[in-house]
């Protein structure tokens, strides 16, 4: 009867444990997919950072070009204003020249008329005019008068010629100034065309970067969706295994109940037989009280992951300032600082759920203890992993070696303990509560 019951329990356990490695392998494969997606997402984020940096550089260039174009337009407007003013001055100068020329022609006419009057009859009339004087003083007066008239006409004519010469020189200066300003405007206009062409190129490049940024963000969203989907699938597999474990526990409970019933029936039969054989006699014996089983809940469930005396706790479970990022966040486990290569032991019996790379942890091992609890060992190197997914391990078994891989400031073991999962994420508890 005992052999039959033990065989039944063994078959029940074998049925469940035979599926465990398969589920562990599936979860390991899914975790590898998550790792691949995370790696791709990391590459995309790096690419996105580069694109954002290029976009910022382009924005700075475009801003600089816009400033240059604005300054150029201001300069063109200033030159155009100068050209306009020069043109007005030229128009005024031309008008002054025209007036001076008319006045010069008028004075030339008067001078000519005076000269014709004075010299129309030749030297005789000129002499007659002089010698008609009544006296010497009158003669001198007439002579001086004629001389003054001639000199005045000549002086007036020369003054007008000088004014006209000055105006013509001014006109030439203004024409040269206008030519220089027009050349300056042409150069500024050419520079404006060059700047606008550069601006157009930069805007085209910005559009391409914006399209690339949009594409990368879409890819990152796709990777996040895929990661969420895979994590959901992992959670589903774990839930399936938990259901199988509950079924196993129910079957074991039924078998144990049957075994207990059979044992009680056998004891009753044996007691009846003993009473029959010892009827009429009184026997004195020792009554033995069965020992109660040791509770597996609370302290004492697990052992330490590293040998006593070979470590010190560098960071306990709970809130802390991260030693690498400097950000205050929740520390999901206990850090055991120890020398590189120090042996790491399984804190309890279980099945290796995952053994490989993990973001932030370098390389890690996850053990399912078949009681709803999972132990996580982090920061090992690839060479420091001594177990593989699906492998059954025993409490105290050497499963790895202390490393400093991933986001780590020194050699240590990060040990976390999880009480189930939620949406593909572990629900962490303090490992110290279960030693």
Q: Is residue 310 part of a domain?
A: yes
Q: What's the confidence (pLDDT) of residue 374? A: 92
Contacts of 374 (CB under 8 A, 6+ apart): 353, 366, 367, 368, 417, 418, 420, 421, 426
Q: Which of 97-106, 167-176, 312-321, 399-408 has the lowest mean pLDDT?
A: 97-106
Which sign does the torsion angle of CA 153, 156, 157, 158 carry? positive
Alpha-carbon distance of 420 to 355, in angstroms, equals: 18
Alpha-carbon distance of 399 to 377, in angstroms, equals: 10
Q: How many other C-beta atoms lie within 10 A of the C-beta of residue 35?
A: 17
Average pLDDT of the segment spanning 231-247: 75
Q: Count CA within 13 A, CB hemisphere, residue 35.
A: 17
Residue from 99, 101, 72, 329 nearest 185 by CA: 72
Q: Is residue 280 part of a domain?
A: no
Higher model confidence: residue 243 or residue 366?
A: 366
Q: How many other C-beta atoms lie within 10 A of the C-beta of residue 297?
A: 8
Per residue in 254-289, pLDDT (tens digit) is: 888 788 888 888 877 776 666 655 554 444 433 333
250 and 387 co-located in one domain? no
Using CA atoms, how far residue 221 sits from 5, 210, 214, 226, 424, in Å, is 55, 16, 11, 9, 18
163 and 311 co-located in one domain? no
Q: What's the confidence (pLDDT) of residue 281? A: 46
258 and 315 co-located in one domain? no
pLDDT at 228 exceeding the cut of 80: no
Chain Cα centroid distance, residue 399: 39
Alpha-carbon distance of 379 to 411, in angstroms, equals: 8
Q: Is residue 293 part of a domain?
A: no
Instruction: Return the percentage of the chain with pLDDT > 90, whole number.
Output: 20
Alpha-carbon distance of 53 to 221, in angstroms, equals: 20
Q: What's the confidence (pLDDT) of residue 297? A: 37
155 and 257 co-located in one domain? yes
Cβ contact 363:375 at 8 Å: no
Q: What's the confidence (pLDDT) of residue 357? A: 85
**Range of 305's domain?**
301-435
Per residue in 10-68, pLDDT (tens digit) is: 434 444 444 455 666 677 778 778 778 878 888 888 888 998 999 898 889 888 888 98
336 and 392 co-located in one domain? yes
Q: Is residue 130 part of a domain?
A: yes
Q: What's the confidence (pLDDT) of residue 17? A: 43
Q: Count CA within 13 A, CB hemisphere, residue 178.
A: 14
- Domain boundary at 254, 271, 288, which? 271
Q: Is residue 1 part of a domain?
A: no
The most confident of 94-98, 124-128, 180-184, 424-428, by mean pLDDT: 180-184
104 and 190 co-located in one domain? yes
Place of tokens 């490393």: 403
Q: Is 218 exposed, middle or buried (0-12, 13-18, 19+ CB in 10 A)?
A: exposed
Q: Any idea what the CATH number is for the domain that residue 307 is in? A: 2.70.70.10
Residue 296 token pair: 């597996």
Q: Is residue 118 part of a domain?
A: yes
Determine if the pTM surpasses 0.75: no
Alpha-carbon distance of 134 to 250, in angstroms, equals: 167
CA angle 58, 64, 68 (to 5 degrees): 140
Alpha-carbon distance of 139 to 142, in angstroms, equals: 5
Residue from 108, 70, 431, 372 nearest 246 by CA: 372
Cβ contact 261:253 at 8 Å: no
Alpha-carbon distance of 327 to 347, in angstroms, equals: 30
Q: Is residue 388 part of a domain?
A: yes
Alpha-carbon distance of 365 to 370, in angstroms, equals: 15
Per residue in 333-381, pLDDT (tens digit) is: 999 999 999 999 999 999 998 888 887 888 999 999 988 899 999 999 9
pLDDT at 172 exceeding the cut of 60: yes
Residue from 393, 361, 304, 402 nearest 24 by CA: 393
Cβ contact 403:337 at 8 Å: no
Query: In total, how many domains does the chain have?
Result: 2
Alpha-carbon distance of 89 to 99, in angstroms, equals: 15
Q: Which of 126-135, 236-245, 342-351 has the lowest mean pLDDT?
A: 126-135
Q: Any idea what the CATH number is for the domain that residue 197 is in? A: 1.10.287.950
pLDDT at 292 exceeding the cut of 80: no
Cβ contact 319:329 at 8 Å: yes
Higher model confidence: residue 413 or residue 18?
A: 413
207 and 344 co-located in one domain? no
35 and 112 co-located in one domain? yes
Q: Quick one: pLDDT band at residue 198, thresholds 50, 70, 90?
A: confident
- Domain boundary at 233, 253, 271, which? 271
33 and 138 co-located in one domain? yes
251 and 326 co-located in one domain? no
Going by the DSSP 8-state scheme, the letter that residue 381 receives in this structure is: -
Q: Is residue 23 part of a domain?
A: yes
Phi/psi region, residue 390 (left: phi>0; alpha: psi -120 to 50; beta: rest), is left
405 and 312 co-located in one domain? yes
223 and 158 co-located in one domain? yes
């Amino acid at each position: 009867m005992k052999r039959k019951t033990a065989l039944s329990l063994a078959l029940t356990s074998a049925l469940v444990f035979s599926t465990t490695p398969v589920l562990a392998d599936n979860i390991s494969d899914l975790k590898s997919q998550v790792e691949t997606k995370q790696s791709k997402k990391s590459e995309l984020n790096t690419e996105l950072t580069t694109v954002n940096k290029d976009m910022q550089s382009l924005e700075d260039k475009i801003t600089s070009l816009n400033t240059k174009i604005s300054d150029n337009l201001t300069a063109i407007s200033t030159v155009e204003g100068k050209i306009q003013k020069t043109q007005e001055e030229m128009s005024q100068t031309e008008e002054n020249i025209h007036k001076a020329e008319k006045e010069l022609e008028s004075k030339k006419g008067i001078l000519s008329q005076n000269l014709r009057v004075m010299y129309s009859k030749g030297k005789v009339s000129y002499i007659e005019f002089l010698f008609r004087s009544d006296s010497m003083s009158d003669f001198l007066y007439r002579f001086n008068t004629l001389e003054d008239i001639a000199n005045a006409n000549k002086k007036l004519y020369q003054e007008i010629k000088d004014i006209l010469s000055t105006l013509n020189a001014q006109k030439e200066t203004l024409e040269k100034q206008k030519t220089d300003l027009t050349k300056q405007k042409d150069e500024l206009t050419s520079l404006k065309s060059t700047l606008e062409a550069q601006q157009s190129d930069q805007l085209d490049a910005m559009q391409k970067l914006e399209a690339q940024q949009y594409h990368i963000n879409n890819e990152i969203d796709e990777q996040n969706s895929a990661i969420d989907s895979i994590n959901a699938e992992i959670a589903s597999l774990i839930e399936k295994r938990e259901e199988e474990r509950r079924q196993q526990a129910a079957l074991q409970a039924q078998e144990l109940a049957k075994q207990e019933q059979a044992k009680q029936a056998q004891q009753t039969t044996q007691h009846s037989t003993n009473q029959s054989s010892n009827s009429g006699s009184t026997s004195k014996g020792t009554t033995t009280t069965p020992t109660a089983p040791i509770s597996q809940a609370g302290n004492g469930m697990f052992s330490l992951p590293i040998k006593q005396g070979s470590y010190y706790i560098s960071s306990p479970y709970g809130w802390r300032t991260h030693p690498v990022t400097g950000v205050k966040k929740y520390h999901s486990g206990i850090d055991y600082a120890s020398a590189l290569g120090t042996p790491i032991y399984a804190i309890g019996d279980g099945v290796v759920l995952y053994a490989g790379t993990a973001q932030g942890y370098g390389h890690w091992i996850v053990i399912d203890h078949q009681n709803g609890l999972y132990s996580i060992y982090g920061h090992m190197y690839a060479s420091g992993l001594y177990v593989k997914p699906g492998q059954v391990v025993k409490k105290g078994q050497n499963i790895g070696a202390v490393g400093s891989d991933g986001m780590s400031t020194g050699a240590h073991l990060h040990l976390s303990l999880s009480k189930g999962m939620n949406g593909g994420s572990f629900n962490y508890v303090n490992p110290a509560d279960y030693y």
